[in-house]
Amino acid sequence: MKKIIPLILLFAPAFSIAQDIHFSQYYETPLIINPASAGFYDGRQRAVLNYKNQWQGIPNPFVTMAASFDMPLFESSKRNAHLGMGINAYRDQAGDAKLGTTQINLSISGIVKLNPQNKISVGMQGGGAQRSANFSNLEWGNQFNGSGFNTGIASNEMNTLSSFLYGDLSAGIFYEFSNTENSFAGKDVFKFNFGISGFHLNKPDLNFYNGASDKLHSRYVVHSSLRYDIPETRLSIVPMAMYAMQGPSSELLASMIFRISLSESGKITTIFKESSLSFGCGIRSGDAIIPQVMLEFHDYSFGVSYDVKAGSKAYGVNGGLEVFLRYTNWKGPLYKGKK
């Protein structure tokens, strides 16, 4: 029984509801949330690494790793429109059966500056994924000899799982209002963004077993965030929210982040990039409380969060640890002079 229940938990997402991976610090996985976010920031290049370890109470818990890189293309002060391009990849694996998904996507976006305060982006994403599993490492009831499991005994269980590939198509739209063209322009920042995206729009088939197939549900995401610098202070408040729906499943995640500027040089001299410390808490509706902290030092950012009481309460499951590392080559206040 102890082997059967984890197996059900691991294969339920693959065969029934076919859910995607998700990160609690979703705002640090821009291309997983919205293809239109490719190149949609005040910088030249951006690279992000993400790691999540979830359901640590079970043997071989869910481990998810992701990486992305994106940048604007053909940006010029003489044009109000340019392109954005990005590539992202992730690997998700869990359990003795090593049930896993590996996916690589390429995103391209068209970004239009409506005026100095407003811009909008429309993006497309295409890629491929591989799903795989291996029953050879599992132990079955008829292999129990009274004192332990003897894997030399034939399990007589069906072991026809095979790896398979499928194509994937996604799209999104992203809007942002900002009272300044970058975060280091010598004034307090007020910034608001809103996005809508759809993933697996082609609804690819999942074919683990020969002759059996299951459609991958499309995933629809709505997300928004706001940054407000409190005048005459170093404090900013950053509320964020995301709602995702995939087949019969849905997720609502809201966070409140407090950002403290550690150096105000960007606002005083308009030369140097600033550093900050952020901390706050997120709530995943009906599932988890997520304390989180982030340190930004010039172009580098590092963040950590922990899902408290995430997932099932069985097997001593306590939550999930998540970390990210981001490098953003910000344009900085002297960007116009460098063009």
| pLDDT tens figures, 70-116 | 999 998 878 899 999 999 999 987 766 667 889 999 999 999 999 98
Indicate the domain borders of the chain. 4-142+158-321+330-338
State the SS3 of the chain.
CCCHHHHHHHHHHHHHHCCCCCCCCHHHCHHHHCHHHCCCCCEEEEEEEEEEEECCCCCCCEEEEEEEEEEEECCCCCCCEEEEEEEEEEEEEECCCCEEEEEEEEEEEEEEEEECCEEEEEEEEEEEEEEECCHHHCCCHHHECCCCECCCCCCCCCCCCCCEEEEEEEEEEEEEEECCCCCCCCCCCEEEEEEEEEECCCCCEECCCCCCCEECCCEEEEEEEEEEECCCCCEEEEEEEEEEEECCEEEEEEEEEEEEECCCHHHHCCCCCCEEEEEEEEEECCCEEEEEEEEEECCEEEEEEEEECCCCCHHHCCEEEEEEEEEEEECCCCHHHHC
| pLDDT tens figures, 116-167 | 899 999 999 999 998 877 666 665 666 566 666 555 555 555 555 667 889 9
Q: What is the CATH number of domain 4-142+158-321+330-338?
A: 2.40.160.40
